[in-house]
Amino acid sequence: MDATSEASFAEFVRAQWRDLVRAAIFLGAGPHEAEDIAQQTLVRCYASWQRVTDATNRDAYVYRMLLNQLRDVRRTRWWRSRVDVEADGRVDDASSQVVLADAVHQALDGLTKEQRDVVVLRYFVQLTEAQTATALNIPAGTVKSRLSRALAALAGSHHLSELSEEHR
């Protein structure tokens, strides 16, 4: 990679790091695991930087890489055993931010994988419908229908309704 490409990549990493980690967390990874997934995604970006910069929609291309990296990690036996340990080891925290984050995560856990992917990319990462469709390799109409069903499920989630009742 030449110096110009190196500088371009370094700027991209500075601008995208936080959003990539946040997206991985909302897609179900723990904080440390999300950093690992974001880092592995950026390594893949570095290895194919020319394809990333040539992509029609760079954000969608990179978030597709993030989703693929997350799926690769979850396919391993290590991930399956680790999820069981984390589920058993949760500790409640009294802070309102932790309670809110937990309620959101639990509500998102109630969605199908496909619905969760659409909600995270559309609302947390703030991709457009077209970018979300490109990232997930599905038609834009499918993004809209999955999003509609996901929002209906979230509206009916007892995790979020219990939270809103506590703040009344």
Q: How many domains does the chain have?
A: 2
Domain co-membership, 69 together with 108: no
Question: What's the domain range around 114?
Answer: 92-168
Name every residue whose Cβ is closer than 8 Å to that of residue 144 and which is 6 or more positions away in sequence.
129
Query: Domain check: are 51 and 109 in the same one?
Result: no
Q: Model confidence over 39-51: pLDDT tens digits?
A: 999 999 999 999 9
Per-residue pLDDT at 88 exceeds 70: no
Q: How many CB atoms lie within 10 A of CB 71?
A: 11
| pLDDT for the residue 73 | 82
For residue 85, pLDDT beyond 80: no
Are both 107 and 79 inside the same structural domain? no
Q: Does the global pTM surpass 0.75?
A: no
Determine the average pLDDT of the residues in 25-49: 90
Please check whether residue 16 is in contact with residue 52, taking contact to mean a CB–CB distance below 8 angstroms.
Answer: no
Residue 120 CB: number of other CB atoms within 10 A?
A: 24
Q: Over the range 122-148, which residues count as b (16 or more CB within 10 Å of their CB) and which as e?
A: bebbebeeebbbbbbebeeeebeebbe
Same domain, 29 and 57: yes
Where is the domain boundary, 90, 109, 136?
Answer: 90
Mean of pLDDT values over 17-23: 92
**140-163 residue pLDDT tens:** 999 999 999 998 888 887 777 766
